Amino acid sequence: MSDRMVSRRRSVRRRAKWAAVCVGFALTLAVGQQGEASASGNSAPPEPPRNILSLPLAAAGGLLNPEASPSGANDWNCKPTREHPRPVVLLHGTWANAYLNWGMMAPYLKQLGYCVFAVNYGGTPGNPIKATAHIPVSAQQIAVYVDRVLKATGAHQVDLVGHSQGGGLTPRWYLRFDGGTNVAHPKQNKVHSLIGLAPSNHGTTAMGLGTLTTKLGLNKPVSLVLGEAYEDQMVGSQVNTTLDRGGDTQPGVSYTVISTRFDEVVTPYTHQFLTPGPGATVKNILIQNVCPQDLSEHVSIAYDANAAQLVRNALDPAHAQPVSCGLSLPVLGG
């Protein structure tokens, strides 16, 4: 057997192992949420649309086929409509990829009539663990991708919807330093709105782990294993300091933060909130203030029906719908 075939088999076995681990984690998470729902007396969720993936299936697919597009995303022939004139660009979180992160949101927004695009960034092709690169590097990749979307669709602006790193530091770096906005002429901004699900806006203590590695001077060694994005997202990092020095927002951009008090990754969750600067609007939403029984945490918020409705409302505030506050997948229509 050739060395190439041996290497390929090892790669397949390695991906299968990671898939099993992540599926097990996701199933545990899903079962825990269902048990909580049942205990609170909520009725069973309705059948979801067929092409919306559950978190376990998306985790498996994203690990086994990391370059795949989530259902509903990356139709490069899509043209925005009058009702939805701006394409939506989905930005995944750290150590994830587009397929894993957006198995629910991409088809949901597509069925609502949006042109939906989902980029893989901050990682090497074929590696399912992405968004590990230095945040300024990832921001440049997003800049190139947004320009490609604008050119393909003929749109003047996009809306960004991101999770974790993809909803916080990286798109904010793009908006500030890589051409996402035009401070002198905000109407020429390439981005209309940034909607962040559990975004890492002001750094994380990572439930104390980040505080420990920072105090011990271990962020750089840890980043050699986990990627530079680890150090970049710690409280007090150079990336955080640089961004915060100029304020949280850019003129002409509408910002929405959707966070959960059960976030165990970006901690404390209040570090996710933004303060509006000149010419910008900010809406900070703690999902439990909208739906007190919502049990989503950092990972599952990207697969939470209530969060999906809040994203829909942020994209189209003129036609905002009340949040049903159930644990089911979003129901289309209305």
The residue-averaged pLDDT of 218-228 equals 79
Confidence of residue 45 (pLDDT cuts 50, 70, 90): very low
The answer to whether residue 1 scores a pLDDT higher than 60 is: no
pLDDT at position 98? 97
Sign, CA torsion 80/81/86/90: negative
E-strand stretches of 143-253: 158-163, 191-197
Confidence of residue 226 (pLDDT cuts 50, 70, 90): confident
Per-residue pLDDT, averaged over 293-317, amounts to: 96
What pLDDT is attached to residue 218? Answer: 75
pTM: 0.83
Confidence (pLDDT) at 220: 82
| pLDDT 10s digits, 201-210 | 999 987 777 6
In this prediction, residues 136-143 reach a mean pLDDT of 98
pLDDT at 40: 32
Confidence check: pLDDT of 306 > 50: yes
Residue 108 pLDDT exceeds 90: yes
Average pLDDT over residues 23-38: 32
Give the per-residue pLDDT at 184.
95
Between residues 183 and 328, which one has the greater pLDDT? 183
Cα separation, 248 vs 243, in Å, equals 7
Q: Tell me: pLDDT of 41 over 70.
A: no
The sign one gets for the Cα dihedral 60, 93, 175, 189 is: positive
Q: Is the pLDDT of residue 177 over 70?
A: yes
Tell me which residue of 63, 74, 109, 40 sits closest to 302, measured CA to CA: 109
In the chain the first and final C-alpha atoms are separated, in Å, by 59
On the question of pLDDT at 24 being above 50, the answer is no
Task: With beta carbons less than 8 A apart as the criterion, state whether 192 and 146 touch.
Answer: no
Q: 323 or 23: whose pLDDT is higher?
A: 323
247-283 pLDDT, tens per residue? 999 999 999 999 999 999 999 999 999 999 999 999 9
Residue 327 is predicted with a pLDDT of 57
Nearest 5°: the CA angle 263, 267, 271 is 110
Asked if the model's pLDDT at residue 48 lies above 90, the reply is no
Instruction: Write down the pLDDT at residue 311.
Output: 98
191-198 average pLDDT score: 98
What pLDDT score was predicted for residue 56? 85
Q: Strands across the sheet with 158-163, in order?
A: 116-119, 88-91, 158-163, 191-197, 254-259, 281-286
> Residue 133 contacts by C-beta under 8 Å, 6 or more apart in sequence?
121, 122, 123, 227, 228, 229
Degrees, nearest 5: CA angle 330-311-151: 115
Instruction: Give me the pLDDT at residue 329, please.
Output: 46
Predicted confidence at residue 210, as pLDDT, reads: 66
